[in-house]
Amino acid sequence: MPDLSALNGGEASLASHDVDAVFIIPAIPSSLGNFFIPLLIGARDVAFPRLNLFSYWIFLAGIAVTLFSLLQPIDTGWTFYTPYSAQSSAAVTTLCLGLFLVGMSSILTGLNFIVTIHTMRAPGMNWYRMPLFIWAMYATSVIQVLSTPVIGITFILLAAERLFGVGFFDPAKGGDPLLFQHFFWFYSHPVVYVMILPAMGIISEVAPVFSRKPIFGYRAIAYSALAIAFIGFLVWGHHMFVSGMSTVAGVIFSFLTFFVAVPTGIKIFNWIATLYRGSITLDSPMLYALTFIFLFIIGGLTGLFLGSLATDVHVHDTYFLVAHFHYTMMGGTVMGLFAGLHYWYPKVTGRMLNENWAKNAWWLIVTGFNVTFFPMFILGMQGMPRRYAEYPAKYQPLNVVATVGSWFLAVGILIMFANFIRSLRNGAPAPANPWRGLTLEWSIPSPPETENFTEIPTVTDWPYSYGKKTRHDRGK
């Protein structure tokens, strides 16, 4: 999907940047990544456990500083564009420091994962025997390591301009305000793939297990993760179509943006081909995986309207964008997280979830989500801008529908979490391999021992050989 993120602004409030930085970006890497990368590659831990702990503590410190900065009013919006942010409320400097620390944590995690995947794989696990979640986390980590320093340095430049009057971005001091936008989006576009690629990795694990079929197009899915990471670095200008950037640059960024749709489409095609004629069981992880595919297709296709220079100018900064962003980030990343949480819960806790509760929560979440966010596509096409506290009465009915939908969504999420907590004590004991998966984490008891594997396994097979042998099994 060409434009996952927002145009010239992203979300409606400052708070959304913090949601990105402290929830959606680390949601899957920090939790399921840290727990399952070693398990899926047959290792006892990540390569640098102490660095891992360090990154956890600076993450907490970064959150503390960020929350502290919010005690003072900040009126820059979440993108804090210059030159205004170079002069506005003092809290901006504190916020820069907080997000700098969170970014540092993200870089260290990415670095750790890259080294782990390169050096800690069990004997026999060559690159083409790696589970696709590992490929996805690898591509994610590369983006984290290459793009996050850019935003970190940008925060330092902004703080230096505010504290010492150095003229980087303020035209009055000889700076260039557009430069800030370029730096900002050079990070903030690739980072949407830090948010979505891990979720795509989870879908690639869940789809074959619950279809009882080998994953279709293994290498295409693996390479497309790397392709998304690479192309993601070339398209940041699609956030700046109306910034005053030259039309030629706009046309080029629009053109390049469409290329992201190719590897993304490849993934979606391969997941659907994996499902085709499979023996599908609709357990809760699979329900969320199917929801991901369905919602993400809507999110991706609506991104085409935003990535296209011609149509974007019409829907720019409207609710169309808000809807698109939530279909990709909540319909995509969060549904992928939910799929992963339901899939791996038995492995982490040693208990099974209550499937009835899980399914009831799923109905509420998927219904509530669509009732909340689909009307926003229509509102946006009708011209309703975002970030306005009041709007003309003609937009009222669909806004009421969206509000009611959000109540269903919230109740569904509460039931889901209640199930997580309740099953810790009341859930049936989980066997080692409740879903009959073939990746390595299912070969050891639930929950795993502290050291994961008493004996490091030797890998002789590709992890997706359901039913029939494929060319991958011969092991290259």
- Could you list the residues that contact Cu ion (CB under 5 A)? 3, 5, 189
* Nearest partner of 207 among 468, 439, 459, judged by Cα: 439
In the bound complex, which residue of the shown chain has the CB atom lying closest to Cu ion? 189
| Closest separation in Å from C-beta 182 to Cu ion | 13
| Closest separation in Å from C-beta 220 to Cu ion | 23
- Contact in structure between 132 and 222 (CB atoms under 8 Å): yes
Closer to Cu ion by CB, 189 or 316: give it.
Answer: 189
Closer to Cu ion by CB, 32 or 191: give it.
Answer: 191
Which pair of structure tokens corresponds to residue 110?
Answer: 């990415």
| Closest separation in Å from C-beta 321 to Cu ion | 11
Closer to Cu ion by CB, 189 or 351: give it.
Answer: 189
Residue keyed to tokens 């290459």: 146
| Closest separation in Å from C-beta 197 to Cu ion | 14
| Closest separation in Å from C-beta 311 to Cu ion | 15
d(CA 99, CA 20) in angstroms, rounded, equals 11
What one-character DSSP code corresponds to residue 174? T
What one-character DSSP code corresponds to residue 128? G
Closer to Cu ion by CB, 3 or 18: give it.
Answer: 3
Closer to Cu ion by CB, 191 or 225: give it.
Answer: 191
Helix/strand/coil percentages in the chain, nearest 5: 70, 0, 30
d(CA 306, CA 308) in angstroms, rounded, equals 5
Cβ neighbours for 107, distance < 8 A, ≥ 6 positions apart: 144, 145, 148, 149, 152
Closer to Cu ion by CB, 25 or 125: give it.
Answer: 25
Closer to Cu ion by CB, 3 or 205: give it.
Answer: 3
* Nearest partner of 415 among 352, 365, 341, 344, judged by Cα: 365
Burial (Cβ within 10 Å: 0-12, 13-18, ≥19) of residue 396: exposed
| Closest separation in Å from C-beta 5 to Cu ion | 4
Cβ neighbours for 13, distance < 8 A, ≥ 6 positions apart: 77, 78, 387
| Closest separation in Å from C-beta 31 to Cu ion | 25
| Closest separation in Å from C-beta 235 to Cu ion | 6
DSSP codes of every residue in 18-81: HHIIIIITTHHIIIIIHHHHHHHHT-SS-S-HHHHHHHHHHHHHHHHHHHHHTTS---STTTT-
Closer to Cu ion by CB, 8 or 370: give it.
Answer: 8
